[in-house]
Amino acid sequence: MLNLQYLLYVFLITMIPILLIFGWMRSVFALTAIADTWLWWYIGASIISSIALSKAVGLQ
């Protein structure tokens, strides 16, 4: 049961920043050409979240 709680915690820690970043990107880039494709949203969110999480964990 402890393993399930840990997995839920990791899932929430991962999903909350991703949801926040996608919400922010949707509001910022809604009227630009970048909003036409989901690929750029995914690339941007992965780069930003990767940088933020690595700094939060202390890898950089």
Mean pLDDT computed over 36-46: 79
Q: How far apart are CA 2 and CA 46, in angstroms?
A: 29
* pLDDT for the residue numbered 2: 66
DSSP for 1-46 reads: -HHHHHHHHHHHHHHHHHHHHHHHHHHHSTTSGGGG-HHHHHHHHH
Residue, of 34 and 58, whose pLDDT is higher: 58
Percent of the chain with pLDDT strictly greater than 90: 0
For the chain, the structural domain boundaries read: 2-57
Distance of alpha carbon 46 from alpha carbon 11, whole angstroms: 15
> What tokens appear for 33 in the block?
């050409």
Instruction: Render pLDDT for 12-38 as a digit per residue (tens, 0 to 9).
Output: 888 888 888 888 877 877 777 666 677
pLDDT in the model for residue 60: 60
How much is the pLDDT for 42? 84
